């Protein structure tokens, strides 16, 4: 296993970690390992959204986006490039 050193942790954050560790019945070191493992695992669970999904998520809190999409059928015959 690797060793990770974190410097300059705010005293309020350290105290909150101490309380969380006590609530879960583990050491502060074990609590931080659990938090880091959970955070890192969550990144791989959800695939990256495509552009349309990213736009939908961005505007969802503002009421969403309702775009009228053109029909997928051709209006005219496509041009011919035969000589």
Whether residue 16 is contained in a domain is answered as yes
Give the separation between CA 63 and CA 43, rounded to whole angstroms: 27
State the residue range of the domain holding 35: 11-61
In total, how many domains does the chain have?
A: 1
Whether residue 54 is contained in a domain is answered as yes
pTM, full prediction:
0.51
Phi, psi of 77 (to 5 degrees): -70, 135
Whether residue 56 is contained in a domain is answered as yes
Whether residue 37 is contained in a domain is answered as yes
Torsion of CA 72, 52, 40, 10, to 10 degrees: 180
pLDDT in tens, the chain (83 residues): 889 999 999 999 999 999 999 999 999 999 999 999 988 886 656 677 788 888 888 888 888 777 777 777 767 787 889 88
């Amino acid at each position: 296993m690797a060793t990770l050193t974190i410097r300059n942790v705010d005293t309020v954050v350290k105290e909150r970690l101490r309380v969380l560790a006590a609530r879960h019945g583990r050491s502060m070191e074990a609590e931080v390992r659990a938090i880091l493992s959970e955070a890192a695992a969550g990144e791989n669970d959800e695939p990256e959204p495509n552009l349309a999904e990213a736009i939908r998520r961005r505007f969802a809190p503002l009421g969403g986006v309702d775009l009228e999409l053109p029909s997928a059928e051709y209006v005219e015959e496509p041009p011919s490039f035969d000589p």
